[in-house]
């Protein structure tokens, strides 16, 4: 049985908080224990990060820092199989998915932001002065300081390094709090940090839960200079309240109830492939997934039937088997939440086109599996149409006009992402510009250029990350005015 320790100042240390079990979602069995950090360990981690910031890391030339980030990426890839196994044991997702997305992107983030920090410039302005000699204003970037990184469980390595990589590229130090459900890859990354020569204290990991535990101890700590978080909206609101004490900046990518729009002139095969992934990939545990689907009436019946057939075609089982195409959800608690919404849909009179319950999986009956599910027939105020479920499910509603489709997509307090499927270029531009989201895909889904801004609108978050936008969050701009 594996014990996951905190990683503080380059050492693995047991925490003073309680230990808790780490479950394998495929079987439900306990496969490890996690040693949670108390206040003293969080204090030590923040102190180590501050010392590194004021020490060798803070004094390191950018070129050396970039070289170390590239070694980090190479170090993850060199231990690819270990990271893959750790990610699967934590999440239960199929190896076919994790080996294609989670581990490669987790490593690539360090290379992407190593590149970005080398090309990010600042501004210079010449100005007139009364004596005619003039002045020059120029700006410089400096690290924001010690960053608290609060990570989700759906893409543990990828979304953690999405934050850690730009933070380190900009010269910050970090204290990472992984989800209590997925401690493995953040801990394993500590070994790689030491192996490639990252100075002690630059990267720290504290394990534990949120309220009155490591998460709260970290976000309320006065030594934290900025907080980045991906997760559900209520937790984001709590972090904003904590960050107000000391006026610390936050970057929050929060919940979503994303809408997809399929117009009757869309390439039906392409739309079904893209929407199928958007609804069911990673067992629906993708913040950018589609839980509300609006299909123009001319193709509505045909599309509903075809998507239901796609939902019925997934194979459950051993995540390391090539034939497995869908894994469990993350925990028994989350399985019960998803199934409670399945029950609500049935009670509300939904027409269940596919799924609607928990499958029988030979040899894995203790696992946290739920069926990919497609509903129709519910009103716009039904719980499964308004609430974020974070499971492999979607509700399909017909629409007639472009204006009606846009209005339906915008009828949500959330605004993270959308996908629009149409062959009409003008309609694509009009619709994408009017839907209130942080990212709109046209005839695609989850197609990401990491230089572009990423984040949510409305209740789906605040701030943008990616490319120069990450540089803006992880640095302080300082203006220097020189009188000539």
d(CA 400, CA 151): 40
Phi-psi region of 467 (alpha: psi -120 to 50; beta: other; left: phi over 0): left
Give backbone dihedrals phi and psi of 437, rounded to 5 degrees, phi first. -140, 170
CB atoms within 10 A of CB 127: 11
Contact assessment for residue 474 and residue 143, using Cβ atoms and an 8 Å cutoff: yes
In 3D space, the residue among 17, 60, 9, 20 whose CA is nearest the CA of residue 38 turns out to be: 17
Does the active-site annotation cover 304?
no
Contact assessment for residue 420 and residue 443, using Cβ atoms and an 8 Å cutoff: yes
Q: Alpha-carbon torsion 88, 189, 72, 176, what sign?
A: positive
d(CA 68, CA 74): 10
d(CA 339, CA 167): 38
Per-position DSSP letters for 390-426, written without gaps between them: -SSEEEEEEE-SHHHHHHHHH-SSEESEEEEE-S-HH
Choosing from 151, 279, 287, 304, which is the catalytic residue?
287
List strands edge to edge, sheet with 30-35: 2-4, 30-35, 19-23
Choosing from 87, 253, 388, 472, which is the catalytic residue?
253
d(CA 234, CA 236): 5
d(CA 263, CA 399): 9
d(CA 93, CA 411): 32
Does the active-site annotation cover 253?
yes
Residues taking part in catalysis = 253, 287
């Amino acid at each position: 049985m594996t014990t996951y320790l905190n990683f503080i100042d380059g050492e693995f240390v047991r925490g003073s908080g309680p230990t808790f079990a780490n479950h394998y979602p495929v079987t439900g069995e306990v496969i490890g224990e996690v040693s949670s950090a108390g206040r003293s360990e969080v204090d030590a981690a923040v102190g180590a990060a501050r010392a590194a910031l004021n020490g060798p890391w803070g004094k390191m030339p950018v070129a050396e820092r970039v070289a170390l980030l590239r070694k980090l990426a190479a170090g993850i890839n060199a231990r690819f199989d270990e990271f893959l196994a750790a990610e699967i044991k934590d999440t239960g997702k199929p190896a076919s998915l994790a080996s294609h997305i989670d581990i490669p992107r987790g490593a690539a983030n360090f290379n992407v932001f190593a590149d970005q920090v080398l090309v990010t410039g600042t501004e210079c302005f010449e100005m007139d002065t009364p004596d005619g000699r003039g002045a020059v204003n120029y700006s410089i970037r400096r690290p924001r300081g010690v960053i608290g990184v609060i990570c989700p469980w759906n893409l543990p390595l990828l979304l953690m390094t999405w934050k850690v990589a730009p933070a380190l590229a900009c010269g910050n130090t970090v204290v990472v709090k992984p989800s209590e459900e997925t401690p493995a890859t953040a801990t394993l990354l500590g070994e790689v940090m030491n192996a490639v020569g990252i100075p002690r204290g630059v990267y720290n990991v504290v394990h534990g839960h949120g309220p009155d535990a490591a998460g709260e101890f970290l976000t309320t700590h006065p030594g934290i200079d900025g907080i980045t978080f991906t997760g559900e909206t209520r937790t984001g609101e709590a972090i904003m309240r904590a960050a107000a004490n000391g006026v610390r900046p936050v970057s929050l990518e929060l919940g979503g109830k994303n809408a997809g729009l399929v117009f009757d002139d869309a390439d039906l095969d392409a739309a079904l492939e893209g929407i199928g992934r958007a609804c069911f990939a990673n067992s629906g545990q993708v913040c950018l997934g589609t839980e509300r689907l609006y299909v123009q009436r001319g193709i509505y019946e045909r599309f509903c039937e075809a998507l239901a057939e796609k939902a019925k075609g997934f194979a459950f089982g051993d995540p390391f088997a090539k034939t497995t195409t869908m894994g469990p959800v993350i925990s028994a608690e989350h399985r019960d939440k998803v199934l409670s919404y399945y029950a609500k849909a049935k009670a509300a009179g939904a027409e269940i086109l596919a799924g609607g319950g928990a499958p029988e999986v030979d040899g894995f009956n203790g696992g946290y599996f739920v069926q990919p599910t497609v509903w129709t027939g519910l009103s716009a105020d039904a719980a499964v149409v308004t609430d974020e479920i974070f499971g492999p499910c979607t509700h399909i509603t017909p629409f007639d006009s472009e204006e009606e489709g846009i209005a339906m997509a915008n009828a949500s307090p959330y605004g993270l992402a959308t996908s629009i499927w149409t062959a009409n270029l003008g309609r694509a531009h009009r619709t994408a510009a009017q839907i209130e989201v942080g990212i709109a895909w046209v005839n695609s889904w989850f197609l990401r250029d990491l230089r572009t801004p990423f984040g949510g609108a409305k209740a789906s978050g605040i701030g943008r990350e990616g490319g120069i936008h990450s540089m803006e969050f992880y640095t302080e701009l300082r203006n220097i005015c020189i009188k000539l």
